[in-house]
């Protein structure tokens, strides 16, 4: 029988999980609507501001992800966390409906849960900062590509307009 027996977390990792759990609670489920079981957090409130709120929520989630990764996580858990954050951001971009769906998704709580499960199975994981660096590199590459495409399209539009004006005169 080769089953791993869950070992108790060391004090430092337990404090880390407690901090992350508190932060995720504030972001995703700290407040509730009276006479209902509906819970929401600061992330949902900030998300009410179109686009700016969603980007702010994304940045806060990425800071939490960075904090989670400092103590180690597998590449599979890392990409599941990234997936949760991206889904949360994309859901939040949908006007009005996205705000309600954002309350139900709770990506930060999901990510802390994933991390807690991972720590219970792997009490001494190696550092995963390389994955965060890789993710940052990919994000900057995608942002750079989008900016280049936007610049190319804008240049093409203005060049076409300029050529058309020159044809007229």
The whole-angstrom separation of Cα 117 and Cα 96 is: 33
Q: Which residue ranges make up each domain of the chain?
A: 11-127, 129-169
Token look-up 């709580």 returns: 109
Contact 119, 13 (CB under 8 A): yes
pLDDT tens-digit series, residues 51-63 = 777 778 778 888 8
Stated as kind and residue range, the H or E segment containing 40 is strand 39-40
For β-strands 31-32 and 39-40, DSSP reports them as antiparallel
The whole-angstrom separation of Cα 39 and Cα 5 is: 34
pLDDT the model gives residue 8: 57
Contact 25, 106 (CB under 8 A): no
Token pair for 84? 């949760």
pLDDT tens-digit series, residues 25-83 = 888 888 888 888 888 888 878 877 777 777 787 788 888 887 777 777 787 888 888 88
β partners of residue 32? 39
pTM, full prediction: 0.67
Token pair for 146? 């989008």
Quick one: 119 exposed, middle or buried, by C-beta within 10 A (0-12, 13-18, 19+)? Answer: buried
Give Cα 76 to chain centroid, integer Å.
15
């Amino acid at each position: 029988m080769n089953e791993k027996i869950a070992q108790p977390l060391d004090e430092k990792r337990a404090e880390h999980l407690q901090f992350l759990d508190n932060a995720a609670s504030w972001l995703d489920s700290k407040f509730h609507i009276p006479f209902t079981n509906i819970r929401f957090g600061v992330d949902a409130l900030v998300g009410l501001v179109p686009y700016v709120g969603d980007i702010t929520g994304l940045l806060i989630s990425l800071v939490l992800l960075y904090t989670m990764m400092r103590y180690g996580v597998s590449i599979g858990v890392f990409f599941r966390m990234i997936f949760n954050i991206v889904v949360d951001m994309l859901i939040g971009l949908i006007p009005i409906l996205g705000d309600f769906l954002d309350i139900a998704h709770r990506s930060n709580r999901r990510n802390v849960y994933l991390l807690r499960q991972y720590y219970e199975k792997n009490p001494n994981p190696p550092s995963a900062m390389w994955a965060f660096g890789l993710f940052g590199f990919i994000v900057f590459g995608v942002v750079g590509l989008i900016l280049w495409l936007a610049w190319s399209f804008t240049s093409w539009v203005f060049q076409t307009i300029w050529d058309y004006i020159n044809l007229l005169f």
